[in-house]
Amino acid sequence: MKKVEDGNTLVFQVDIKANKHQIKQAVKELYEVEVAAVNTLIRPNGTKKAYVKLTPDHDALDIANQIGYI
């Protein structure tokens, strides 16, 4: 939640085979927002997390509300 409010960042669990370019394109198409950066993390349990930072002209909190994240 802190990332959404303070960092303008959305966090997703993604397919282990997805790369940063694919994640960026998917978020851009699904939510109609501009993505500034994508960071990924493979967790010890084998899942992959994507931290998607949005550009300043889009609000991650609004997008999170729209998709039912909050």
Per-residue pLDDT of the chain (70 residues; tens, 9 = 90+): 677 777 899 999 999 999 999 999 999 999 999 999 999 999 999 999 999 999 999 888 889 898 887 7
- Tokens 């694919």 — which residue? 22
What architecture is domain 1-67? 2-Layer Sandwich (3.30)
Domain coordinates of the chain in residue numbers? 1-67
Tell me which H or E stretch contains 51: strand 48-54
Closest to 53 (Cα-Cα) out of 41, 68, 63, 38: 38
Q: What is the pLDDT of residue 56?
A: 93
Helix (H, G, I), strand (E, B) or coil at 31: helix
Q: What is the pLDDT of residue 1?
A: 67
Q: How far apart are CA 41 and CA 13, in angstroms?
A: 10
